[in-house]
Chains A and B, each alone.
Chain A
Amino acid sequence: MRYEAAQAGTLESSDCLVTLAPSGEFSFEYRSGNGGLFAERTEAMVREILERYGTPCLRVQISDQGALEATLRARLEIALERALRKE
């Protein structure tokens, strides 16, 4: 299964922008206005979703504008599906 670079979400308030890029290993970069407060929790969620999609090796960048977990999940899932569709 090959993935290509993809994005989902926006930089509007209460949203997040998820950017994915192919990589040999998993890496996670999290930016938000509240420092690293939710970084650990978000990384755990990202790892769980990547595991579910069977693709642990991706570079994941999230710019969080105060998104709820439901929003983060929805944006990451769609970014993954867009990345897969581009193959």
Chain B
Amino acid sequence: MKPRRSMLYMPGNSPGMLQHAPVFGADSVLLDLEDAVAVAEKDAARRLVAHFLRVLDFGRVEVTVRINGADTPYFETDLEEIIPARPSAVRLPKCQSPGDVLRADALMTTIEERHGMEAGTVGIHAMLETARGLEHAFEIATASPRVKALTLGGQDLTADLGVQKTREGWELFYARGRVVMAARAAGIAAFDTVWTDVDDPEGLAAEAKQIVEMGFTGKAAIHPSQIPVIHEAFRPDPREFRRAWRIVTAAEEAERQGKGVLLVDGRMVDGPIVVRAQRLLDLGVLYGMEGDETA
């Protein structure tokens, strides 16, 4: 799984922001056609994003586009213009059921075929932001091979639940657990919701640490200043990283020798632990960590 620790929301109708998308240091950017764009400018934002997707070199930054929901008049036109411009994925807001994914999937396939693209080129990140959507989390995650991530929409969900979003975030605890469990069960990424108070980096740091410990693979950001805070939360503990390096090295050696059982630091290690260790190594590389230092 490619690390996507941070996903920076960028308003789709702001060329000044869009043209700098590759340089903010985020692992991925979310070009927003939904909440960040006024109704009268939906057409302009859609066209601007489509042009930028075609000509701008985003480098290693993964590019996704949040389109307008299926319950809006913009949904189909968004897909018609955005899919041929080949973003990595589109983020589908307010997914309530597997049917929402299947409807988008069918439309995307038609558009891809019409433009000579291989079906399934563009992925789906399904946003869960209603109680009903959360209750269908696993079915949504597995509705189509296009679904590459589940993402939690905390603002709309708290509104749907009729509760306040608090600094501690207990009102989202169950929802977060549910999203992580469903995404992991489906073998896809799990992205957490935004931290809305740009002037409270301590609050963001605490929340980011919590969601990393819960098993999320990434978190959305609404301002470039939030990116380093989120990345810091994902930084592996150096001792854990060195142990992961020993596990992966030992697993490779065992495979060469045809051994089934693996012992590292005197403890037996099995398949899932090797997979987790490899994930930790991939993450550590992003922080310039090296595994062959002895601890």
Q: Which residues of A contact B (CB under 8 A)?
A: 8-9, 12-15, 67-71, 73-75, 77-78, 81-82
Contacts and interface: CB of A to CB of B under 8 A. Distances in A.
A77 B47 contact: yes
Contacts, number: 40
A74 B44 contact: yes
28 contacts: A8-B44, A13-B16, A14-B15, A14-B16, A15-B14, A15-B15, A15-B16, A67-B15, A68-B15, A70-B15, A70-B48, A70-B51, A70-B52, A70-B54, A70-B55, A70-B56, A71-B15, A71-B19, A71-B48, A73-B51, A74-B48, A74-B50, A74-B51, A75-B44, A77-B47, A78-B43, A78-B47, A82-B43
A69 B148 CA distance: 33
A12 B47 contact: no
A82 B43 CA distance: 9
A17 B16 CA distance: 14
A42 to B, nearest CB: 15
B12 to A, nearest CB: 11
B181 to A, nearest CB: 41
A2 B55 CA distance: 31
A69 B19 CA distance: 11
A68 B48 CA distance: 11
Interface in B103-154: none
B16 A12 contact: yes
B40 to A, nearest CB: 10
Contacts of A67: 15
Contacts of B19: 14, 68, 71
Interface in B43-91: 43-44, 47-48, 50-52, 54-56
A70 B55 CA distance: 7
A77 B16 CA distance: 19
A3 to B, nearest CB: 16
A73 B55 CA distance: 12
Query: 5 nearest interchain CB pairs?
Result: A14-B16, A70-B51, A71-B15, A74-B48, A74-B47
Interface string B1-34: 0000000000000111001000000000000000
A40 to B, nearest CB: 21
A86 B237 CA distance: 60
Nearest to B13: A10
Most chain A beta-carbon neighbours within 10 Å: one of B14, B47, B52: B47
Contacts of B51: 70-71, 73-74
A69 B54 CA distance: 12
A73 B52 CA distance: 10
Contacts of A78: 43-44, 47
